Amino acid sequence: MDNNEMHEQIVKTRGQLADSVLSYWNQFSDFTTWQFWYIAALFVIPLATLAFTVDRRRILELFFFGYSVHMLWAYVDIALERRLLLINKYFLIPVLPFGFTLASSTFPVAYILLYQYCMKRNKSFPLFSIGLGVLLAFGFIPITEYIGILEMRRGMNLFYLFLITIAIPYLAYGMTKLALAAQRSSKSGGEEEAQYDRFDFKDLFSRRSKARN
């Protein structure tokens, strides 16, 4: 079998898998099941909570951090799912990654609120994130596994998931601090560069009027 034949076989298998996933969702994970509404709640409630509690004075920083957590979780979840290490047995929409709810809402919002709490009260985020990692890895995930939403296979266990829940916010925290440092560095540049940053249309019109006079 050459590469073209193998590729065609992969494409055909993907099509069959997509059809099977859609059929499974229609029978066992659509809006008529309690699992669907449980997952929907995990998606909607954290986002609604964030909308009412986020500090809008630092919203860009908080959302950059949260987006970093989201992206890292999404990539890790896809990798774990493909290697059959962490299985999401029920999911919100079949066309999205199966772990979309946890990776895009539940976990990112939890860490955004923790990050905000630590900023306001001058607490150590790396230290407090360990505590949140313990709650997620040894509290939330076991409950979700117990009710049949998640399933661990091939040697995956809660300790490995705990390490992941620590590594991801640490990486996102480092990325956020680097972005803030780069922003401060750009603001403290040369005087001409700072003046260029503050340029607006009023300056343009005033200069034109002076030139005409």
pLDDT at 191: 45
Domain residues of the chain, as ranges? 1-30, 31-187
Q: What residue type is assigned to position 176 of the chain?
A: T
Cα gap 134→69, rounded to integer Å: 17
- Please write the tens of the pLDDT for every residue from 16-31: 888 898 998 999 888 8
Give CA 92 to chain center in angstroms.
16
* pLDDT over 50 at 127, yes or no: yes
CA distances 127 to 145, 154, 169, 176, Å, are 26, 30, 11, 17
First to last CA, the chain: 81
Tokens of 172: 């996102």
Q: Which burial class, exposed, middle or buried, applies to 176 when counting CB atoms under 10 A from its CB (0-12, 13-18, 19+)?
A: buried
User: What number of CA atoms fall less than 13 Å from residue 125's CA on the CB side?
Assistant: 23
Confidence of residue 99 (pLDDT cuts 50, 70, 90): confident
- Please write the tens of the pLDDT for every residue from 174-205: 999 998 888 888 777 644 444 444 444 444 44
Q: Which of 12-16, 61-65, 149-153, 195-199 shows the lowest per-residue confidence on average (mean pLDDT)? A: 195-199
pTM, two decimals, is: 0.81
* pLDDT over 90 at 138, yes or no: yes
pLDDT-above-90 percentage for the chain: 56
Cα gap 183→171, rounded to integer Å: 18
pLDDT at 189: 63
